[in-house]
């Protein structure tokens, strides 16, 4: 009867053992790198600027015109709205930001002499 076990042969010197050992070390390094990236991502997320609680586009914008004012025309371009307005003091062009509802620019003409 022959034994298949060879006591003189060290299993740690087998090529498959070395390959498996390299794979385990490589996977361990990848796990450590992934954990580090996760920690860095969480740290960046926590230290970044706070997110706006409500988007400005979700809020309604209410604008009141003086009693003697009329809107003659309006034109939208991108996120801006240009209004041609006639007031008691003369005509003017008002440019409004559509996202915030704030007046961006105002161009006034002198009142007409009578």
pLDDT tens digits, the chain, 114 residues: what are they?
A: 555 666 667 777 788 898 999 999 999 999 999 999 999 999 988 887 765 565 555 556 677 778 888 999 999 988 899 999 988 888 899 998 888 888 899 998 876 665
Whether residues 66 and 86 share a domain: the answer is: yes
Count up the domains in the chain and report the number: 2
Whether residues 28 and 70 share a domain: the answer is: no
Whether residues 39 and 66 share a domain: the answer is: no
Q: Residue 69: give the domain boundaries.
A: 56-108
Q: Which of 90, 91, 57 is nearest to 73 (CA)?
A: 91
Domain membership flag for residue 60: yes
Domain membership flag for residue 67: yes
Domain membership flag for residue 25: yes
Domain membership flag for residue 95: yes
Exposure letters 66-87 (e unless 16+ CB within 10 A, then b): eeeeeeeeeeeeeeebbbebee
Domain membership flag for residue 3: no
Domain membership flag for residue 27: yes
Domain membership flag for residue 114: no
For the question of whether the overall pTM of this predicted structure is more than 0.75, the answer is no
């Amino acid at each position: 009867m022959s034994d298949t076990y060879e006591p003189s042969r060290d299993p740690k010197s087998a090529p498959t053992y070395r390959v498996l050992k390299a794979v385990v070390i490589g996977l361990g390094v990848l796990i450590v790198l992934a954990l580090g990236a996760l920690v860095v991502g969480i740290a960046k997320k926590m230290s970044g600027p706070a997110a706006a609680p409500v988007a400005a586009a979700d809020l309604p914008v209410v604008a009141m015109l003086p009693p003697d004012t009329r809107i003659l025309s309006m034109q939208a371009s991108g996120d801006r709205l240009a209004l041609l307005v006639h007031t008691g003091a003369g005509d003017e062009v008002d440019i409004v930001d559509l996202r915030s509802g704030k007046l961006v620019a105002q161009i006034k003409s002198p009142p007409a002499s009578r």
